[in-house]
Chains A and B, each alone.
Chain A
Amino acid sequence: MPAGDAFTPDQLWDLERAVRHAETASGLHFSVYVGGADSETRPFAVELLNELPDPDHSVLVYVDPAGRRLEIVTGSAAKRQLSDTSAGLAALAMQTSFAAGDLTGGLVTGVQQLGDHAHLPTLLHANEPHTQ
């Protein structure tokens, strides 16, 4: 990877669109961080999650391209909506793309998958009084 920005403007736009779509579908806050870690990746990713305004309702996708590590961290409330199994499936999809060198495609697919798994079912007739 030559020196410069990690993503082109088009790639950034695709990523931001995927994040917005996931947030709309799930009601959770999604964040994607791509960069190196000064320490172990998992504690670093948790620390990044805690930097967010509402970490309990947030999902952080952390990618270390140099270390070839991926971490998906969910807050305490987001964890109830997005199970570790679902996160693992999304991580598997991203892992496959990353191994092929497709960083942007893997992130877009993974974030979309996370948003779909955390999708909140629409409540029908929630505002109507119960009648028998």
Chain B
Amino acid sequence: MILQLSGHTLLVFVGIPVLVVSVVALLVFAPSIASGPRYRPGLSWWAPPVWIGGPEPTKPNPANLPELPAGNSTATAATGVARTTGGASASW
């Protein structure tokens, strides 16, 4: 049996399926593309630090922050420095 592939046959059996698959794939991936990068727990984080409501509008480099006092979770009493702190911690 000799199969003769005409242009019309290719269009129906190849072109239309490819078009349908492309449309479905676009519909699936469009929301994630539009919403931007998504955080996935457990994977690495390469984004630079973001500080909203920080001391200055530019994003600070953590390497430029002052050295921490060893083993002391509360800062020393000084002008402009919180004497005692409260709050909460969590991990996921």
Contact (Cβ within 8 A) B82 A33: no
Contact (Cβ within 8 A) A87 B92: no
Q: State the main secondary structure of chain B at its contact with A.
A: loop
Which of under 10, 10 to 19, 20 to 34, or 35 or more describes the interface residues of A? 35 or more
Set of chain A residues within 8 Å of B22, measured between Cβ atoms: none
Contact (Cβ within 8 A) B52 A38: no
User: Which residue of B has the minimal Cβ distance to A6?
Assistant: B47
> Total interface residues on B, using CB and 8 Å?
45
Set of chain A residues within 8 Å of B51, measured between Cβ atoms: 31-35, 48
Q: Given A48-B65, A51-B55, A55-B80: A1 and B89 within 8 A (CB)? A: no
Set of chain B residues within 8 Å of A55, measured between Cβ atoms: 75, 80-82
Q: Given A32-B52, A75-B85, A76-B82: A1 and B45 within 8 A (CB)? A: yes
Set of chain A residues within 8 Å of B49, measured between Cβ atoms: 33-36
Q: Which of A35, A38, A49, A52 has the most CB of B within 10 A?
A: A35
Set of chain A residues within 8 Å of B52, measured between Cβ atoms: 12, 15-16, 19, 31-33
Contact (Cβ within 8 A) A3 B83: no
Contact (Cβ within 8 A) B75 A46: yes
Contact (Cβ within 8 A) A79 B84: yes
Contact (Cβ within 8 A) B82 A42: no
Contact (Cβ within 8 A) B38 A74: no
| Nearest CB of A to B39, in Å | 4
Contact (Cβ within 8 A) B87 A71: yes
Q: A49's contact among B38, B62, B85, by CB below 8 Å, is which?
A: B85
Set of chain B residues within 8 Å of A73, measured between Cβ atoms: 82, 85-87
B88 touches A (CB below 8 Å): yes
Residues of A whose CB lies within 8 Å of any CB of B are 1-8, 11-12, 15-16, 19, 23, 29-39, 41-56, 58-59, 65-76, 78-79, 82-84, 87-88, 90-92, 94-96, 98-99, 101-103
Residues of B whose CB lies within 8 Å of any CB of A are 35-55, 60, 62-63, 65-66, 68-69, 72-75, 80-92
